A = this chain, B = another copy of it.
Amino acid sequence: MPIRVTVWGENVHEQKNKVVAGIYPNGMHAAIADALNTDPGIVAGTAVLQDAEHGMTAERLAATDVLIWWGHAAHGDVQDDVVERVCNAVWGGMGAIFLHSAHFSKPFKRLMGAPCNLTWREAGERERIWLTSRSHPIAAGLPDHFELEHEEMYGEPFGVPDPMETVFVSWFQGGEVFRSGLTYKRGAGSVFYFRPGHETYPTYHDANVQKVIANAVKWAFNPAVRLADPNAAPNVPVDVALEPIEERGPRLHHDGEEGFR
């Protein structure tokens, strides 16, 4: 059974900016999904900010194995309850890939617990992406480095927690570096951040970038059944303790009571 991907796009600049619309006539999300759909192991659909509940209903999330998120101009328009729903899906086992300016998206910041800030420059400069983790599955079939002739610069320090693994680091023509491919686990969900993808350049038409994203989908996919309640904190009563114990001392809680949250 193929991996079910939903590519979430903000879909703002595609509607307002002729340059972006020219590069991505059907939207960036559609371009990303189209590329993924050339892989027989993946079935990708899309959702956008403008959809009801931003297209991120409980049903849609339940039917999504891996979510890809791109946002930039309208991070603040994403409803907080949808952000929580997305994060809960990740904690329950959904994979999540955050692209480029999604470093400042609400769900990524929420999952990182950190500022996720950086420096930036929009000058169409050259970016060279270096592999830092040999034979990592996210880099399968890719050379040790590849270039994007025109990209926005993102510079360190990047305000994220130290990752599980650093897969890529970028070199920029203007003199900066950036950890551009980072893996994390949050609850049962695998999370990957991948830097490239400024909307005024044709980055998501680049074969290497498409390969990274397809590889990341496979890496992030967790075939385990989604956790019903990733926040559950069950009480274990004394009489079913795995080793025989006797209750001792004073208590706050009554038998079978819920814990505080």
Question: Which A positions have Cβ atoms within 8 angstroms of B?
Answer: 13, 17, 19, 72-76, 87, 91, 93, 101, 104, 110-115, 117-125, 128, 130-135, 137, 140, 144-145, 150, 153, 155-159, 161-166, 169-177, 179, 184-188, 198-201, 222-224, 227, 230-238, 241-243, 245-253, 259-261
Contact = CB atoms under 8 A, between A and B. Distances in A.
Contacts of A260: 72-75, 101, 104
Contacts of A169: 156, 169, 177, 179
A172 to B, nearest CB: 8
Contacts of A199: 252
26 contacts: A13-B252, A104-B260, A111-B114, A117-B232, A120-B234, A121-B237, A121-B238, A124-B248, A124-B249, A124-B251, A130-B156, A132-B179, A134-B188, A134-B230, A144-B157, A153-B236, A155-B236, A161-B186, A162-B165, A162-B185, A171-B171, A171-B176, A174-B236, A176-B236, A198-B252, A200-B250
A120 B117 CA distance: 31
Contacts of A13: 252
Contact of A156 (B123, B132, B248): B132
Nearest to A107: B113
A113 B112 contact: yes
A166 B165 CA distance: 11
Identical subunits present:
4
Nearest to A20: B252
Given A93-B134, A128-B242, A175-B243, 13 more contacts: A75-B261, A112-B113, A120-B233, A120-B236, A121-B237, A122-B253, A124-B251, A130-B155, A132-B179, A161-B185, A173-B243, A174-B242, A174-B243
Contacts of A91: 114-115, 159
Residues of A contacting B: mostly: loop
A227 B131 CA distance: 15
Contacts of A177: 128, 130, 169-171, 177
Given A123-B247, A200-B251, A261-B104, A230 B175 contact: no
A252 B17 contact: yes
B241 A159 contact: no
Contacts of A249: 124, 150, 200-201
A170 B171 CA distance: 9
Given A179-B132, A185-B161, A173 B245 contact: yes
Contact of A123 (B125, B188, B241, B261): B241
A217 B156 CA distance: 24
